[in-house]
Amino acid sequence: MAALGWAAVSAHADDASMQRLLTDYLRTQAPLDGDVDVSVTMPRVNMPACHNPRPFLPGRNPRIAGNITVGVQCPGDRPATRYFQARVTVIADYYVAARDLMPGDVLGMGDIRREQGDLSRLPANIATSADRLLGMSVSRRVAAGRPLGESMVRQPLAIKRGELVRVVAVGPGFSITTEGKALNAAPLGGDVRVSTQEGSIVIGRSTNENTVTITR
């Protein structure tokens, strides 16, 4: 009877150690900027001991917020891989639209507003840093007060399709300038196909507003 009681206590302690291990692991994987709370649910039935636990997150680039699954590899033990359910709450800053935004608007400080809340209740790609938004171009209509996701913005266009652009070809000892029509839109640093005045199609890189540079 005493031996049975010791075994039960030992198994319970092992579960508690596993719970602490997974809690600490998930804290290290959660976003750095924010107040993180982790709750790991252990199975009601005690599992066999895992002597060399190696926690991991299933899937590719999983989101560390909300209800998630965390795995543990137990080399040499059975079962060798085990899964646990956890709840990760991250209270952190995020950004919303300070006014109604239209496609093409370039974001400044007056266009965004900082809020604070549980990231697990917000879209996965929510912007948590103003640096990810400022100077970016809005890609869709966004109502005032709506959380801003990184998928809602993009690099502003330096070249618009169909507009007249300056084409500069540079190389060792020469520089040639002409004009042409952009056949596609591109952000700064993007590739642009241009139909030149001479009737040829060239490909260069957007190096400035309305300027395409070809390096030879």
| pLDDT tens digits, one per residue of 98-136 | 999 999 899 999 999 999 999 888 888 899 999 999 999
Please state the rounded mean pLDDT for residues 46-74: 86
Inform me whether the pLDDT recorded for 77 exceeds 60: yes
pLDDT value at position 17?
Answer: 87
pLDDT category at 47 given cuts 50, 70, 90 is: confident
> Which CATH number applies to 157-215?
2.30.30.760
pLDDT of 11 above 80: no
Whether the predicted pLDDT of 7 surpasses 70: no
The residues that bridge with 158 in the sheet, in sequence order, are: none
Average pLDDT over residues 22-42: 86
- pLDDT at site 6: 27
CB 162 within 8 A of CB 193: no
- Domain borders along the chain are 2-86, 91-154, 157-215
pLDDT for residue 35: 86
Q: Select the CATH number that applies to the domain covering 91-154 from these four: 3.20.20.70, 3.30.230.10, 3.90.1210.10, 2.60.40.420.
A: 3.90.1210.10
Mean pLDDT of the chain, nearest integer? 87
Report pLDDT for 161. Answer: 93
Q: Same fold for the domain at 91-154 and the one at 157-215?
A: no
pTM for the full predicted model: 0.66
